[in-house]
Structure 1
Amino acid sequence: MPDTRFAGLAAEAESLRPSTVALRREIHRHPELGLHLPRTREAIQRALADLPLEITVGKATSSVTAVLRGALPGPAVLLRGDMDALPLREDTGLEFGSEVEGAMHACGHDLHVAMLASAARLLAARAGELAGSVVFMFQPGEEGFHGARHMIHEGVLEAAGDRVDRAFALHVHGNMPAGHLRTRPGPIMAAADTFSVRVVGKGGHGSAPHHAIDPVPAAAAMVGALQTLITRRVGVFDPAVLSVTRIAAGTTTNIIPETAELEGTFRTLSEDTRALVRSELPKVCEAVGAAHGCRVHVDIEPGYPVTVNDPMETGRVLGLAEQVLGFDRTGVMPDPIMGAEDFSYVLQRVPGTFAFLGACPPGLDPEQAPSNHSNRIVHDEGALPAGVALYAAFALDALRPAGPALAG
């Protein structure tokens, strides 16, 4: 039976569309990168200024944490929206396109901020229905800067007093129909680590390689050996992806260089496989280098952990989405995505769910449309009310009073 508390939620979210769109476009015009986003933070604070929220800003970053207290005591839940843009020149032709050269909201974080701010407004109007608190986590530095970890260190999980006991985040997806939700229990996004390899030989003349120790064939052999590591040491049911994305050596045609360099990334869906690849990668490169008479230096830079959805919370989100969006707009992803996400740090500590919200513009084939991180990506603003309603539904469901809800 449909939950009557959600009957008017979509309409309320739709009524907030003008302000949601306005905030999204303001942020889209003025994208900021990394952990320090002063203009974005000011826009968020202005959007929340008239609401009954306890607002704090980060010390190490430009984060914003806002707490809404319900009418009754109870637990706390967390809703996250990330804030930062990408170092990319925008080529969309939008009239509200980026005004900052070399920066663009190509991953939809501008939509995330706008949806979360409007969800705060919607929930503030329904505070009488909440038994507990909602923590709104406006997070900088998702694009490789570990912003969630900084906010956790500064206490976002305890912002309401006791630690939050559930968490939810949405991410728009340019290759899904607008307003559709997809998620899955268990791993939904991969861990992402990077590696760099420096191969040291002995330089010499290109005409006399026997008088040199050439690092180039050693480096080339490592590329193949690393792929063999993945296919022969990693189980197919707990996969890994490894890509050598940069290889460099030499300065001209008649000089054998002294050094060669490799760089790349590997993605894994469990901490066991991640640990295996991190352990074996240096051994493979060092052994190949030794066979060529080269010295090898390997550095592995840890990235985000695996993003793992709690099965119970994920089932709850799917059920909420069916009520708010409709059964035909809700589905389970068959496979994880090998991209990475720093909401993983939150889900390591709190049961919760990360879900994708479709934002492909109408008239485009989702399979062919530009994807997130493309300089030509356009996200459909028609998806914004769906995200607002989903954020609000998650909090309303998690903080339902034990008895009849109080009047607003």
Structure 2
Amino acid sequence: MSALLADARLLGLDRLRRTLHERPETGLHLPRTQQAVLTALDGLGLELHTGTALTSVVGVVSGTRPGPTVLLRADLDALDFPEGPRHSCGHDQHAAMLVGAAHLLAARRDRFAGDVLLMFQPGEEGHDGARLMLTEGLLETTGSRPVAAYALHSSANAPAGQFANTAGPALAASGTLAVTLHGAGGHGAWPHRTRDPIPALAEIVTALGALPARRFDPFDPVVLTVGTVHAGTRPAIVPERARLEATLRALSDGTLDRLAGIARDTARGVAAAHALEAEVTYTPGYPATVNDPAEADRVREAVTGLFGPERFVRGIRPALVSDDIGRVLAEVPGVMTSLGACPPDRDPHTAPGNHAPDAVFDDAVLPDGAALLAELALRRLAAGGPS
């Protein structure tokens, strides 16, 4: 067992994770989460900064000699369920692992030249916290822009302790389409006296669903999923308006822009055919997450060195989920790597996945994640400047 992993197992990271799990907060302002992270970093002698537009924490672990900067990132926010906030995406684990890496690196300052930039980020779940942290000068914190960036993401339905990443496009770019149809309501007994938006809305749902298969190359995949439909109040009343919202996803920003344009035109065209007014808006979300191939290989080498080759899997295809780590990786070569955290009493193939209300994550993987983050920082700093 490596000294990094042995030391990580002594940190008791599960205690911090449980504290965060029991006090979930959503969005950009996570005061209790921020304080828990600051308390966990206290006494390490780090340079610490907190955000203005959001309750972020930025820490710097400095080596004893000048050198490059490497960024390590963890997101902090929980998911907002109808019954209340809950950590069902593993962000509480991410925070605990990055705190663990900070402890490991602080104890090894004399072994590296340069700085490790710790990015504790609120607002990943739809609030674009990474963009705000970049705007507040994250990459200029040490006076030397990072030469590499690394992040881990726990997976509730992958085998515990299994690391995996994909070189190149890894996670999707995303956006949201909203369509509101305005017609003329009336009694359901005389639909010819109305301009009924419901049949048009149904046609738009069908037409949008056909776009990926009929308008896009299957080797450049896109997804368009209508997630909400709202219309009407009574069976015998034709409503004046109807509305849908859809998520759009693609593996490149350019393909997503094209999908959004075609979807807008489709909705407007169907509405016009029904003599309806259409209010169509598209809101861009996160850019695609593109893993740097060299850094993806560095992760594989680090996992192999720490745990053995059987613990790493090279992904054969990207995922069409999104993460605002893509904003960081657009500025800094780096990689998002997944870490399986399915509990041993569950089958990874059938276990509830991330974002499910009953998702469960195994805390036994926390020392592994902390050790890997620290190892990646040490390896990349030892390699020197830009690759």
Give the TM-score, by structure 1 length: 0.92
**Which of residues 4, 21, 26 in structure 2 aligns to 1:9?**
4
Q: For 2:236 and 2:136, locate their aligned partners in 1 and report how far apart those are by CA, in whole Å.
A: 55
Would you say 1:324 and 2:306 are equivalent positions? yes
**Which of residues 166, 181, 187 in structure 1 aligns to 2:169?**
187
**Which of residues 59, 62, 82 in structure 2 aligns to 1:66?**
59
Alpha-carbon shift at residue 7 of structure 1 (Å): 3.7
Q: For 2:138 and 2:144, locate their aligned partners in 1 and report how far apart those are by CA, in whole Å.
A: 11
Q: For 2:383 and 2:236, locate their aligned partners in 1 and report how far apart those are by CA, in whole Å.
A: 77
Q: Secondary structure at the match of 2:184?
A: coil
Which moved further from structure 2: 348-357 or 257-266?
257-266
Q: For 1:229 and 1:85, locate their aligned partners in 2 and report how far apart those are by CA, in whole Å.
A: 33
Alpha-carbon shift at residue 243 of structure 1 (Å): 0.8
Q: For 1:104 and 1:249, locate their aligned partners in 2 and report how far apart those are by CA, in whole Å.
A: 30
**Structure-1 residue corresponding to 2:27:** 34
Q: For 2:24 and 2:267, locate their aligned partners in 1 and report how far apart those are by CA, in whole Å.
A: 40
- Given that 1:180 and 1:325 are in contact with CA atoms closer than 8 Å, whether structure 2 keeps it comes out as no
Q: For 2:324 and 2:383, locate their aligned partners in 1 and report how far apart those are by CA, in whole Å.
A: 32
Q: For 2:195 and 2:51, locate their aligned partners in 1 and report how far apart those are by CA, in whole Å.
A: 52
Alpha-carbon shift at residue 228 of structure 1 (Å): 2.3
Q: Residue type matched to 2:115 in 1?
A: S
**Structure-2 residue corresponding to 1:114:** 96
**Which of residues 134, 140, 143 in structure 1 aligns to 2:116?**
134
In the alignment, structure 1 segments of 5+ residues that lack a partner are: 1-5, 90-100, 403-408
Q: For 1:371 and 1:135, locate their aligned partners in 2 and report how far apart those are by CA, in whole Å.
A: 30
Q: Residue type matched to 2:43 in 1?
A: D
Q: Secondary structure at the match of 2:84?
A: coil
CA offsets per residue over residues 73-96 of structure 1, 9 Å max, x none?
A: 11100000111111137xxxxxxx
Q: Residue type matched to 1:309 in 2?
A: N
**Structure-2 residue corresponding to 1:164:** 146
- Given that 2:176 and 2:285 are in contact with CA atoms closer than 8 Å, whether structure 1 keeps it comes out as yes
**Which of residues 41, 54, 79 in structure 2 aligns to 1:86?**
79
Would you say 1:75 and 2:68 are equivalent positions? yes
Would you say 1:57 and 2:39 are equivalent positions? no
Alpha-carbon shift at residue 293 of structure 1 (Å): 1.3
Q: For 2:318 and 2:182, locate their aligned partners in 1 and report how far apart those are by CA, in whole Å.
A: 38
Q: Secondary structure at the match of 1:322?
A: helix
Q: For 1:42 and 1:294, locate their aligned partners in 2 and report how far apart those are by CA, in whole Å.
A: 52
Give the TM-score, by structure 2 length: 0.97
CA offsets per residue over residues 121-174 of structure 1, 9 Å max, x none?
A: 100111111111000001111111111111111111111111111100000001
**Structure-2 residue corresponding to 1:47:** 40
Q: For 2:181 and 2:277, locate their aligned partners in 1 and report how far apart those are by CA, in whole Å.
A: 6
**Which of residues 233, 239, 252 in structure 2 aligns to 1:270?**
252
Would you say 1:210 and 2:203 are equivalent positions? no
Q: For 1:84 and 1:246, locate their aligned partners in 2 and report how far apart those are by CA, in whole Å.
A: 24
- Given that 2:177 and 2:260 are in contact with CA atoms closer than 8 Å, whether structure 1 keeps it comes out as no
Would you say 1:260 and 2:242 are equivalent positions? yes
What RMSD, in angstroms, separates the aligned Cα atoms of the two structures? 1.3
**Which of residues 283, 303, 324 in structure 2 aligns to 1:342?**
324
Q: For 2:225 and 2:296, locate their aligned partners in 1 and report how far apart those are by CA, in whole Å.
A: 31
**Structure-1 residue corresponding to 2:366:** 384
Alpha-carbon shift at residue 401 of structure 1 (Å): 7.1
CA offsets per residue over residues 167-196 of structure 1, 9 Å max, x none?
A: 000000011111110101011111121111
TM-aligned CA distance change 1:159 to 1:354, over 3 Å: same
Alpha-carbon shift at residue 62 of structure 1 (Å): 0.5
Q: For 1:60 and 1:215, locate their aligned partners in 2 and report how far apart those are by CA, in whole Å.
A: 41
CA offsets per residue over residues 230-271 of structure 1, 9 Å max, x none?
A: 221111111101111111211112221121111111111111
CA offsets per residue over residues 5-43 of structure 1, 9 Å max, x none?
A: x94222122222x2x111111111111111111111111
- Given that 2:8 and 2:370 are in contact with CA atoms closer than 8 Å, whether structure 1 keeps it comes out as yes
Please identify runs of 4+ aligned residues in structure 1 that moved more than 3 A.
none
In the alignment, structure 2 segments of 5+ residues that lack a partner are: none
- Given that 2:248 and 2:260 are in contact with CA atoms closer than 8 Å, whether structure 1 keeps it comes out as no
**Which of residues 84, 87, 94 in structure 2 aligns to 1:102?**
84
- The aligned runs of 1:210-289 (5 Å cut-off) are 210-289=192-271
- Given that 1:85 and 1:103 are in contact with CA atoms closer than 8 Å, whether structure 2 keeps it comes out as yes
**Which of residues 10, 16, 22 in structure 1 aligns to 2:15?**
22
Q: Residue type matched to 2:244 in 1?
A: L
Aligned residues: 384
Q: Residue type matched to 1:77 in 2?
A: V
Q: For 2:140 and 2:116, locate their aligned partners in 1 and report how far apart those are by CA, in whole Å.
A: 11
Q: For 2:213 and 2:169, locate their aligned partners in 1 and report how far apart those are by CA, in whole Å.
A: 21
Q: For 2:356 and 2:226, locate their aligned partners in 1 and report how far apart those are by CA, in whole Å.
A: 21
- Given that 1:187 and 1:269 are in contact with CA atoms closer than 8 Å, whether structure 2 keeps it comes out as yes
- Given that 1:72 and 1:401 are in contact with CA atoms closer than 8 Å, whether structure 2 keeps it comes out as no
Q: Residue type matched to 2:370 in 1?
A: V
- Given that 1:371 and 1:377 are in contact with CA atoms closer than 8 Å, whether structure 2 keeps it comes out as yes
Q: Residue type matched to 1:24 in 2?
A: R
